Structure 1
Amino acid sequence: MSKKTRHEEHEEHADESWLLPYSDLMTLLVALFLVLYAMSATDAKKFEEMAQAFNSALNGGTGVLDHSSMAPTNSDLDQGKSTKLNTIAEKNSTEADLDKLRKKEQEELEKLKKQFDQYIKNNGLTDLLSTKLNQSQLLITISDNALFASGQANVKPESRQLARSISQMLQQFPDYEVVVQGYTDNIPISNSEYSSNWDLSANRALQFMKILLVNPYLKPEKFSVIGYGEYHPIADNSTATGRAKNRRVEVSILRKYQENKSTALSAK
C-alpha cells in the first residue's frame, strides 16, 4: 500500500494590522498630553517651539498645535497684570478719598460739638442739655423741662431762643441729615389733645423742628421727625428722676461717612 503523504499543517500568522492604528493613537495621546502641559506653562516662546517640533514630527500636519494663540502670550500676561494693578490703584484711591472725607467730617462735628457745649455752659443749661459724639452721629439731648409744659407739645415762649440758637449753629453745615426725636416716660397720658404717649412724643419733635426750620439757611429736605413714645427709655421709669430723664427731645446730626473701626472715636 502506498503511504499517504502527510502534509503538515501550516501555522497561521496572527493578524497584526491593529498595531498601526494603535501606534497612531498612542502618538496622538502623547501629543495631547504634551499640548496640555505646554498650555499650563506661562512661557509662550517655549510653547511655540514645542508646537513646531511636534508638527514636524507629525509630517507637518496642522492641528491644535498650530493655534499658538491658545497659549498665553507675554502681551496677555502684561495686560492682566496691568488690569489688576489698575483695580488695586482705584480701590486705594477710593479709600484715600473716603479717609479725607471722614477726617473733614470729624473736624466739622467736633467743631459743632464745642460750640454747643460752650453755649450750654454760657447759659447755665448743663442740667437740661448734653451732647455726645459717636461713630454714627452728634447727639444733642434736651430735657422736656427746657421746652414744654407738662403734657403739652407747644414750645414755651422762653425756650424758643434755645431752638433758634441751635438752628444758627446747624446752618454752618446745612448738608447733614438731621433727625428730631421725641420721647416720654411710661406714665399713660389721655387728655383732650393726646390719646397716647406716641402722639405726644411725635408732636413735641414736630413742634421743635418747625422752630428750627424758621431759619431760611437750613434745608427742610434734610430734616425728619420720629416719635418713640415711652419705648426707648434711658433711665429707670420707677423713679421720678428716671422718668424726668426719659422725657426728652433729641436732635441727631447724622454722619455721612462711616468711620473705620481703627479710627472710630469713643462716645464723648
Structure 2
Amino acid sequence: MRKKSKRHQEHEEHADESWLLPYSDLMTLLLAMFIVLFGMSNIDSQKFQEMSDAFNSVFTGGSGVLDHNSMVSTNENTSMDDISNALNRKMNDLQRKEEENLVALKKQLDEYIEQHGLSEQLDTNLNQSQLMITISDIALFPSGEAEVKPDARILAKAIARMLEKFPDYEVFVSGHTDNIPISTNQFRDNWDLSSVRALNFMKILLLNDQLDPKMFIATGNGEYRPVASNDTSEGRSQNRRVEVSIIRKYQDSAAVQVTPVE
C-alpha cells in the first residue's frame, strides 16, 4: 500500500505543460500577421493587374483607367501610395475632360439660344453637379396643357442631337408649375400637369435613337420647387418651367478650373 502511494505522488509532481496550447495559438497568430503585413507591402504584377481591372470597372467600365505596362513596372516594390497617386491623377484628368465637354456643350446651347432668339425662354447653368437647361413653359406648351408645341418639338430634337455626345450620362427631365391650383378633366392638380409635361418632353428627346432610354428619368415637382416668388406674375412665370439636367459622373468638392472656348 505504501509503494502505490509513493508512485502516485511522483506522478503528480510532473511539470504542467498546459501552457503549450496558448503559446502555439499565439505563434500561429503572429505568423499569420507577418504574412498579411508582407503581402500588403509587396504587390506583384498579377495583384496589380487585378486591382487595375477593378478600378477600371468602377471608373470607366473597363476602358483603361490604369495601363499596367506603361504606368508601373513588374517589380514587387510598388507602394500603395504610388497606386493611390496614379488613381488621383487619372480621376483629375477625367474631371477636367468632363468639365471641358460640358463647357463646350453649354457654349453650343447658348449659341443655339441666341441664333433662334430664345434668350427670354431658355437658360443654361453649369455647376458642380450638372449642366441644367431651363425652358419656360410658354416655349413648350399651351397654357394649362401638356401637349408639346410644334416649334418646341424642333427645340427638343436639337437638344437631343447635342446630347448624343453624352450617351452614358444620366439626364433628368423635371416639370415645375406655379402655385395656382389646377383642376381639369385631364389633370387633377399641378403634380399631374408637371409630371405629364416632363414625360412628354422626354419622349420627344428619345425619338433620337442615338440616346439610351435607360439613362433618362422624368419627374414632376408641381409647385414645390420654385425658383422665384409666386407672389408676382413674373415670379410665377419663372416657376412654370421644364428643366433638362445632364448629371456629372465625376463630381468634386473643388471646382475644376477650365477656360471656356471663345
TM-score by length of 1: 0.68
CA distance in 2, matches of 1:100, 1:121: 32
Output the amino acid matched with 1:250. Answer: E
Letter in 2 for 1:168: R
Contact 1:135 1:264 in 2 (8 A): no
Q: Does 1:108 align with 2:104?
A: no
Using the alignment, how far apart are the partners of 1:138 and 1:131 within structure 2?
7
Offset from partner CA, 1:5-39 (integer Å, 9 cap, x none): xxxxxxxxxxxxxxxxxxxxxxxxxxxxxxxxxxx
Once the two structures are TM-superposed, the CA of residue 168 in structure 1 deviates from its matched residue by: 0.7
Which sections of structure 1, spanning at least 5 residues, go unmatched? 1-66, 71-75
Aligned to 1:132: 125
Correspondent of 1:223 among 203, 216, 221: 216
Distance 1:78 1:203 in 2: 61
Structure 2: where are the runs of 5+ without partners? Answer: 1-26, 31-35, 44-76
Report if the CA contact (8 A) 1:203-1:227 is conserved.
yes
Aligned equivalent of 1:63: none
Report the CA distance shift for 1:93/1:242 in structure 2 as closer, same or farther (over 3 A).
same
Aligned residue in 2 for 1:214: 207
How far apart, in 1, do the equivalents of 2:213 and 2:40 lie?
A: 50
Query: By how many angstroms is 1:77 displaced?
Result: 9.2
2:241 is the counterpart of 1:248: yes
- Asked if the contact 2:195/2:221 (under 8 Å) is kept, the reply is yes
Displacement of 1:175 in angstroms is: 1.2
Aligned match for 1:205, one of 192, 198, 207: 198
Task: Quote the Cα distance in structure 2 between the aligned partners of 1:189 and 1:152.
Answer: 11
The code of the aligned residue for 2:242 comes to V
Query: Secondary structure at 1:180's aligned position in 2?
Result: strand
- Counterpart of 2:71 in structure 1 is none
Shift of 1:134: 0.3
In the alignment, the residues of structure 1 paired with residue 37 and residue 182 of structure 2 have an alpha-carbon distance, to the nearest angstrom, of: 74
Tell which structure's C-alpha radius of gyration is larger. Answer: 1
Residue 263 of structure 1 aligns with which residue? 256
Against the structure 1 CA distance between its residues 187 and 89, is the aligned structure 2 distance closer, same or farther, given a 3 Å change threshold? same
Q: What is the Cα deviation at residue 260 of structure 1?
A: 4.2
The counterpart of 2:185, out of the listed 188, 192, 213, is 192
- Deviation at residue 215 of structure 1 after TM alignment: 0.4
Q: TM-score, normalised by structure 2?
A: 0.69
Give a deviation string over 1:179-206, Cα, whole Å, max 9, x none. 0000000000000000010000000000
Q: Using the alignment, how far apart are the partners of 1:79 and 1:160 within structure 2?
A: 60
| 3-state DSSP of counterpart to 1:217 | coil
Q: What is the CA RMSD across the aligned residues, in angstroms?
A: 2.6
Partners of 2:37 and 2:164 lie apart in 1 by: 55
Work out which of the residue numbers 66, 78, 85 in structure 2 matches 1:92.
85
Identity of aligned residues (%): 52
Query: Closer, same or farther in 2 for the Cα pair 1:260/1:89, shift >3 Å?
Result: farther
Aligned length: 197
